[in-house]
């Protein structure tokens, strides 16, 4: 190759890089792909501060990271604060695309005090943000990073962030919500489970199971007694399911560190969530 050609190629490459950077900064422009690598970098950043129990400075810090990312994506952000039973305040970070809400995607951002809570649930938060990057231009979606999910920390029998979220979703609007999902612990484990409090998969769970099979992820349905935020949403008359990889031997332990969280597993759940949302919203 001549040096003129090399210069031309170099200039072209520089132009392409600048163009990509410009596109990335335009609010409302959807990201091209779900990136497990980018999700993992965010898990590392969230977990790097250490444990973030409900009401802690680290939970607030995580909320700030999420809010900044939503705003970068061109989404309007609402902060919902709520008191904790033992004193202090937690918060949800909520972003909505245009139009009436028809789908809800949540991931809790608090953790237990034993460890950095990378898989539980930095992984869900980072994956939810990848989905938001893909679908920010699609009307009718509410994304929420929730506080105070960990009942061992709050002392409540409820997942308090989802209780607060439901207060902002009047009962009159809930029937038009066709899809609701909690992403919780989506970066470690060998079995992809779709979970719900119902004995049989509800409409959201069925949607995810169908798309998951189409993507070759071999998801299996597993009923639960209400282990995450989907429980409050389902009891509040939303068709809510939980997506999770099982099992993580470091659950609620010091060893729940970012290094163990798989970019590929988060990427798979991100793509699955995008495909399920697209199918649900038509």
Residue with smaller CB distance to Zn ion, 122 or 201:
122
* Cβ atoms of 239 and 165 closer than 8 Å: no
Q: How far apart are CA 134 and CA 33, in angstroms?
A: 7
Which residues are 94's β-sheet partners? 78, 144
Comparing CB distances to Zn ion, the nearer of 31 and 114 is 114
**Residue linked to tokens 């410009």:** 22
Q: According to the binding rule CB under 5 A, does residue 184 interact with Zn ion?
A: yes
* Cβ at position 149, least distance to Zn ion in Å: 6
Q: Is 153 in the site for Zn ion (CB under 5 A)?
A: no
Question: Shortest CA distance to 62 belongs to which of 142, 126, 138, 153?
Answer: 126
The span from the CA of 89 to the CA of 121, in Å, is 19
Q: How far is the CB of 112 from Zn ion (least distance, A)?
A: 9
- Closest to Zn ion by CB, 101 vs 121, is 121
Tell me how far, at minimum, the Cβ of 77 lies from Zn ion, in Å: 22
Q: Which stretch binds Zn ion (CB under 5 A): 53-61, 115-123, 125-133, 205-213?
A: 115-123
The contact mask relative to Zn ion for 71-90 (x = CB under 5 A, - = no) is: --------------------
Q: How many chain residues bind Zn ion (CB under 5 A)?
A: 3
SS3 38: helix
By CB under 5 A, the residues from 120 to 149 that bind Zn ion are: 120-121
Rounded CA separation 142/144 (Å) = 7
Nearest to 245 by CA among 182, 187, 180, 204: 187
Distance (Å, whole) CA 90 – CA 25: 30
Q: Which residue's entry shows tokens 């539980």?
A: 120
Choices 17-25, 97-105, 112-120, 187-195; region in contact with Zn ion by CB under 5 A: 112-120
CB of 243 or CB of 275, closer to Zn ion: 243
Minimum separation from the CB atom of position 172 to Zn ion (A) = 30
Instruction: Name which of 97 and 154 has its Cβ closer to Zn ion.
Output: 154
For the CB of residue 213, give the shortest distance to Zn ion in the complex, in Å: 25
How many Cβ atoms from other residues are within 10 Å of residue 104's Cβ? 30
Closest contact distance (angstroms) between CB of 184 and Zn ion is 4
CB of 252 to Zn ion, least distance (A): 9
> Taking CB under 5 A as the criterion, which residues in 55-74 touch Zn ion?
none
Of the two residues 130 and 184, which places its CB atom closer to Zn ion in the complex?
A: 184
Residue 248 in the binding site for Zn ion (CB under 5 A): no
Cα 74 from chain centroid (whole Å): 17
Contact partners, residue 6, CB within 8 Å, separation at least 6: none
Which strand (E) or helix (H) includes residue 146? strand 141-146
Which stretches of the chain bind Zn ion, using CB under 5 A? 120-121, 184
């Amino acid at each position: 190759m001549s040096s003129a050609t090399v210069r031309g190629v170099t200039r072209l490459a520089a132009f392409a890089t600048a163009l990509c950077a410009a596109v990335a900064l335009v609010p409302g422009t959807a990201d091209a792909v779900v990136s497990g690598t980018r999700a993992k970098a965010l898990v590392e950043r969230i977990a790097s501060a250490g444990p973030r129990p409900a009401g802690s400075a680290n939970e607030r810090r995580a909320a700030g990271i999420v809010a900044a990312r939503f705003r970068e994506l061109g989404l309007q952000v609402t902060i919902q604060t709520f008191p904790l039973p033992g004193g202090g305040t937690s918060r949800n970070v909520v972003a909505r695309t245009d139009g009436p809400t028809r789908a809800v995607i949540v991931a809790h951002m608090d953790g237990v005090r034993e460890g950095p809570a990378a898989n539980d649930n930095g992984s869900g938060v980072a994956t939810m943000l990848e989905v938001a990057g893909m679908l920010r231009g699609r009307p009718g979606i509410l994304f929420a990073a929730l506080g105070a999910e960990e009942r061992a920390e709050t002392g409540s029998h409820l997942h308090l962030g989802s209780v607060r979220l439901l207060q902002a979703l009047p009962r009159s609007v809930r029937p038009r919500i066709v899809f609701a999902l909690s992403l919780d612990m989506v970066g470690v484990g060998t079995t992809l489970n779709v979970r719900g409090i119902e004995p049989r998969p509800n409409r959201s769970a069925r949607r995810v199971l169908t798309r998951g099979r189409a993507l070759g992820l071999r998801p299996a349905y597993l009923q639960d007694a209400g282990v995450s935020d989907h429980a409050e949403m389902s009891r509040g008359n939303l068709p809510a399911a939980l997506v999770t990889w099982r099992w993580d031997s470091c659950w609620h332990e010091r060893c729940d560190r970012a290094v163990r969280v798989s970019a590929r597993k988060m990427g798979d759940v991100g793509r699955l969530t995008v495909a399920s949302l697209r199918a649900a919203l038509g």
